[in-house]
Structure 1
């Protein structure tokens, strides 16, 4: 394809006036690129814009709130845009964005009207709304590199300007779900060293978050991020390989640190991983980095959502095999009825089943969309009759991350939100459920201290268990002791040899 060029005078007609100072030459190359190639770590704002675009058809209040807040941050509270007098209020930003989306949807990206100005390094310096529309519509954009440096609207920019944790988490998750060449480094608590030095080894950081996990939380996270590894074992057996990995990765008091970043290749990621391991000096037990984009999405949904962190710390998803059977039934229900693009959240008993409190009798769901879902399947029910007890709308339950968490690619109503429903409804079964749930939702300092003590005892018990196995193997007694244990003691113990 013949390369296109534009003169300085032509470009002044196609980029905003406050960008003209960056035109230092008489002629510039005009490039056609995939908009996803412009979704870079320093333009975290694109994730917010994409979140709004994706959810606007559902009249989602959360997506509008985060969009409004990020415009407040970028405009320093003025809600005005340099070089565009028409954008002088929140509503004008939203109206212009909606009109721009429809224009690109109907006519494509019109290079005669505008070009996307890029820095010398090829990142966006203006036109992020246009790029977001093009990403959502999978439409090529026309760009020109001008004479300026990168502009930074990264996650730290918005953190410093007051975007709350929930909003940052949601935007980071959207970035991982949409972006390319995205990875998440999980620094395990066992890693002791200079975290800032580690961050200096990781390029193009998208987001960083830390979370304290209990022994149960660590075990659940390990079973999720290492899913498919032979050493892990099967869910039906409670993932027997988790214990040894848990001891090695969670031997320190530190939080789990998740750092999302972009890297060009898996080879580059492996080099980063090796450098991080060299810093901590404990090999594979210091850091885990995903290999695939799907794994990155799963990790983001687990660690970039406080409801999911609660799930990790308290849930026992392997306790009832019927839980996985019901999840698979619901997936079949969605696929058979050809409603895979419909946003759902599972409610009520299935959440308690995931937490290991009691088995669910059926599958209750909520959803958003214009069409009614028919036919109903046996034991798969639209839970609309209980909406009044949730005290929030069906759309908020399905679309606002404050009200749900992900597991196995499905949204579930947050534990605290289910507690609210049951507290309001107070049927006989709710009273029994509330008794089981109370310790998991109340901010009880005694229970917290008790939990920390139990966690230390749990780790000590697991370490002792694995040390005993090592000794038995070294002395040649392992098979004999295992036979005796399985024959006479296994049913009375939670450990397996």
Structure 2
């Protein structure tokens, strides 16, 4: 029997949380973001709180991204082994497959236990009150229960938490996994896994993130810069490149994608690239997590620019979640970094189709990553021949606006690829990013055309010509390749 005091508490609880009271008491359809009244009262009586699991995550719990990557793949029945590989390797680096309570001593025990947790959230059998997540009462950051939090995030469930007094916390950030903060650096995590975790983190927790790109023209003061960034937020991850390691114009073309002055062949792009890369200092990229508001971020941008006194050419700071996601996919993805060494461009007709395609993709980046440009458009991007249309493949049910010349490939074409669609879209070795969009790797396209030329007589003639174009392109040393405008690989 619910007392009058309980009713008053419930009304205040749902009102303060901007939740539906009627849904909470069962008079309206409930969703996973509104706890039912029995759970609310039980949490109160156990001195627990109910919250969105995302609120317990910060960059010091960078490990969460390997777990959400695995959980999403499991829930979506993604057959690629890559998400599990990231999860397994992060565990090896994190605890070498050992935990005292509850006792686990093998990878299989961790994996099986995690799957049980994921399933309990999916089928709503999780006993939330018996399994509260412990958080730091000052920061609200997760202290124990990362697997449950990851499963709750991906399955869109709430969690019960208990707050504990702050103690000296371990930081499970990117530097921990690099071996810089641990007692056993031999268990460091390879950079390709850190890259995958960075993209996942930015995709799942974009709210308070922004990217800082420091150009080579910004001479010195890099230690001062890092200290300042650590003072206004937390560094999720970072990269450093030599001043001549990547192609300046291709960097600028993507960082400012969509700006009116930024179009193919624009003098504005070449001028900006020359100004930003005039110098021999490194190119640095930081992903920052901070609660700074928009006005505060603008002030910080002006302050950082004042350090070098070269106006807007010293540093670029992103303004939106879309921008920070695009930056993460540019610099924290191995095959994409390889494309950044040389300028690439679509022909004008293909670029128009690509922009229409890009504008039609889902806003959610984890959903957007289920789409990839493929077939002849990839050859067009590399300057090998002009494509007549833009073909793409997707594992998503989301329907994009297929304007003239944009077509989705089905199983009749996917059968010729050397790996599954899940593998193409998930394994970073099988694709790269341009302007935040996936494009199938040239070697995968090559294998597809070899298979199709062998099996489909109708496509054989065209495919054999394309195979020759790709083979000739790959024979040329990277440093001697030219794009359509004659811009050579930058060194």
The answer to whether TM tops 0.5 is yes
Which string of whole-angstrom CA distances, capped at 9 and with x for unpartnered residues, describes residues 157-193 of structure 1? 1122332222111110111111120111011122221
User: Aligned in 2, Cα 1:74/1:326: closer, same or farther, shift over 3 Å?
Assistant: closer
> Larger helix proportion, structure 1 or 2?
1
Aligned-partner SS, 1:241: helix
Question: Which residue is 1:411 aligned to?
Answer: 438
User: In 2, are the aligned partners of 1:173 and 1:297 still within 8 Å (CA)?
Assistant: yes
Which structure 2 residues correspond to residues 138-177 of structure 1 after superposition, within 5 A?
A: 138-143=156-161, 144-160=163-179, 161-177=187-203
Question: Which residue is 1:104 aligned to?
Answer: 121
Give yes or no for the alignment of 1:250 onto 2:267.
no
Task: Write the distance in 2 (CA, Å) between the matches of 1:202 and 1:342.
Answer: 29
User: Aligned in 2, Cα 1:421/1:251: closer, same or farther, shift over 3 Å?
Assistant: farther
Q: Quick one: which of 84, 96, 110 aligns to 1:64?
A: 84
Question: Which residue is 1:469 aligned to?
Answer: none
User: Aligned in 2, Cα 1:420/1:187: closer, same or farther, shift over 3 Å?
Assistant: farther
Task: Write the distance in 2 (CA, Å) between the matches of 1:455 and 1:359.
Answer: 19
User: Aligned in 2, Cα 1:264/1:440: closer, same or farther, shift over 3 Å?
Assistant: farther
Question: Which residue is 1:486 aligned to?
Answer: none
Q: Which moved more, 1:311-320 or 1:256-265?
A: 311-320
Task: Write the distance in 1 (CA, Å) between the matches of 2:135 and 2:434.
Answer: 39
Aligned-partner SS, 2:287: strand
Task: Write the distance in 2 (CA, Å) between the matches of 1:434 and 1:315.
Answer: 22
Task: Write the distance in 2 (CA, Å) between the matches of 1:104 and 1:124.
Answer: 18
Question: Which residue is 1:18 aligned to?
Answer: none
Aligned-partner SS, 1:96: helix
User: In 2, are the aligned partners of 1:210 and 1:257 still within 8 Å (CA)?
Assistant: yes
Residue 228 of structure 1 deviates from its aligned partner by 3.8
Give yes or no for the alignment of 1:73 onto 2:103.
no
Q: Quick one: which of 186, 201, 204 aligns to 2:228?
A: 201
User: Aligned in 2, Cα 1:211/1:329: closer, same or farther, shift over 3 Å?
Assistant: same
Question: Which residue is 1:32 aligned to?
Answer: 50
Task: Write the distance in 2 (CA, Å) between the matches of 1:353 and 1:455.
Answer: 16
Question: Which residue is 1:311 aligned to?
Answer: 339
Task: Write the distance in 2 (CA, Å) between the matches of 1:446 and 1:67.
Answer: 36
Question: Which residue is 1:83 aligned to?
Answer: 101
Give yes or no for the alignment of 1:324 onto 2:352.
yes
Residue 297 of structure 1 deviates from its aligned partner by 0.8
User: In 1, are the aligned partners of 2:235 and 2:288 still within 8 Å (CA)?
Assistant: yes
User: In 1, are the aligned partners of 2:344 and 2:383 still within 8 Å (CA)?
Assistant: yes
Q: Quick one: which of 132, 136, 146 aligns to 2:150?
A: 132
Give yes or no for the alignment of 1:264 onto 2:264.
no
Residue 381 of structure 1 deviates from its aligned partner by 5.4
Normalising by structure 2, what TM-score?
A: 0.74
User: In 1, are the aligned partners of 2:114 and 2:147 still within 8 Å (CA)?
Assistant: yes
Which string of whole-angstrom CA distances, capped at 9 and with x for unpartnered residues, describes residues 412-459 of structure 1? 1123433455577776555654565457656848649x99xx979999
Aligned-partner SS, 1:260: strand
Q: Quick one: which of 112, 115, 123 aligns to 1:95?
A: 112
User: Aligned in 2, Cα 1:210/1:418: closer, same or farther, shift over 3 Å?
Assistant: farther
User: Aligned in 2, Cα 1:215/1:342: closer, same or farther, shift over 3 Å?
Assistant: closer
Task: Write the distance in 2 (CA, Å) between the matches of 1:67 and 1:126.
Answer: 18
Structure 1: state its 5+ residue gaps: 4-26, 460-497
Residue 348 of structure 1 deviates from its aligned partner by 2.1
